[in-house]
Structure 1
Amino acid sequence: MSQSSFGKKFVVTTWGESHGKAIGAVLDGCPAGLSLCEEDIQVFLDRRKPGQSRYTTARKEGDLVEILSGVFEGKTTGTPISLLIRNTDQRSRDYGNIAYSYRPGHADFTFDQKYGFRDYRGGGRSSGRETAGRVAAGAIAIKLLNELGITLTTYARSIGPVEIRSFSEEEIRNNALCMPDADAAAKASAYLEQCLNSQDSAGGVIECRIKNVPAGLGDTVFDKLDATLAHAIMSIGAVKAVEIGDGINVTRLTGSEDNDGFVQKNGIISKTSNHAGGIMGGMSDGSDIILRAHIKPTPSISQSQSTVTNTGENLELEIKGRHDPVIVPRAVVVVEAMAALTITDALFNNMSARMDRIHEFYQR
């Protein structure tokens, strides 16, 4: 399969299938000298792994990462970093009833049309389990960014019809839904109980705030920073829309309401507002980058659904197996990882943008 890589100078390639022996990633372009161990990555994989609450799949994967290359004596070597995560709790028998039929809302039909063959066990390469490799690589990007003072805060802004009304960063880790509002988390939990009782599922919105990104990252035409962020986030299977800053609300604003003004104080130029979400003209403007990913409801539900076989016979399908009634809480760290990989790649691409800075680097 082609197109399993993302990035230009800080490049991640993911590999593996849901029910294969393992999944993983190769990260190429990480500079030498970054302190790195498996525990640095594991903390992020633990945020994504299944079986942590009644609102996630019961599949019990430890998601333990192994660093196979690119690190020596606790430091990155500048060579490709290979990351391995073994699959340990596959139950391929749960997918026997979809070997010759197409699950509504999944990639079964389109994968079959493209390749004429598919791994039906949990979706194979199209499974959400592929994102574990992204999270492992993204953990390295996040560590690198943190060393530069760039931080990411990611959380569930809404689940189903329930949206946050207050914000507490500490609360994000205090509830199973990764919501920064305890009251909203309680209401969302009640809503998910209704979904479970009716054998249905829910979607939601994930918001990511990136602080201390220097101005000037991104390009002016095809590789605008908002365009590459949208590409990265939309490549996550469950994402159906991406917003930057005010997003779709700009269609209801006037120019005087939407424009961000500038002010200079003590020699520092800053903005008077942040409707643009930290990106203007395709380049970062130095203020917080704010993006939102809209996540569709989990397509695997136990209700009877209308579909067809690969020979065109109509049938009613009830999907078996272990599935998340809501993807949002586990996808929070996936959105964070892809945002971090994008910003890191943009930082590296930007290093050759100005001749004066090339002179400064090489004349030290």
Structure 2
Amino acid sequence: MSRADIIVIGGGIAGVSAAAELARGGAEVVLLEGEPQLGYHSTGRSAAIFIRNYGNATLRALNAAAEPIFEAPGDICDGPLLSPRGELLIASEDEMPELEAYLDGSTGIERLSGAEAAEIVPILRPERIAGAMIEHGAQGIDVDRMLQGYARFLRGHGGQIITGAPVGEIRHDGALWQVETPLDTFTAPIVVNAAGAWADEVAGRAGVARVGLQPLRRSAAIIPEPEGYDCADWPVFGSIAETWYAKPEAGKLMISPADEDPVDPHDAWADDMVLAEGLHRFEQAVTVPVTRVEHSWAGLRSFVADRTPVAGFAPGKPGFFWLAGQGGYGVQTAPALSRLTAALVLGHTPELAPEVIVALSPERFAT
């Protein structure tokens, strides 16, 4: 039986970054990951884009707190984790209310006409665009360097990362949590549940009330770069209604149907029909056909009902900390949520505003 101050369950970017920040605060941390490697599920399948205005008001506050850390990660990584990209969203006449809703409360966004949008991404059909917007400040994220940087920092501050250790039974004896894995039983007064799509299952094993986490599948495919075009400097572009989006990727285009199909937690794969429908929507918006799909995959984006992450101690369960429900915002909010986790667990004053902390708290489900 191995003893630690804190057990973190989940080796995605949320768990690894939180474990690193907890270790920074002097805690003895053990991180448990069921897969053979870190970042195997959602983290490793991320679209890898930082969008300041993406999400509701709480998420935008997290984005704002995370951005300076991405720009200057300090002892996590050498140099910025962001690179120029931009995001361009288009709307049909019927989708204009969604465009206006997105712009409400946004900063750093420029409105565009259909013709102006097509000047930036020349395969777009301007006649189908009633309105558009571009966020020049949206940037690409070097996810692997970020994940490895946090993991390296964690190990360098005495933390343990144990992979191939799926969590089994979880018990609480009033003072300590006991987490069983095939490798060992680990004990600590605090457990951080950063298990991604499996977070509700982990809570159930611990006798903690679930928060209604729903994994949603999102598919993606790589297609060849459109013939006659160099898309390297194009922004991410897509429909404001999130019916498809595209991102330049190493001389090719990644296309996603932006699907959100409810599924059980599993090692996700793309549904061919869903992918075909998304590619068709993409083709309707552009002047070039999709000639072939070179590769496809899927990941899971897990949300609770209000689509806001859950971060805080479970009511009535001493030492059980939620860090879940990041949906499609997990990578870009990780720097902020990891620091919040460390502050709340270690009893420090959080950097985030009180109303943001309340909005994230699992206490909202108790009422």
TM range (shorter): under 0.3
TM-score, structure 1 normalization:
0.26
Using the size of structure 2 for normalisation, the TM-score is: 0.26
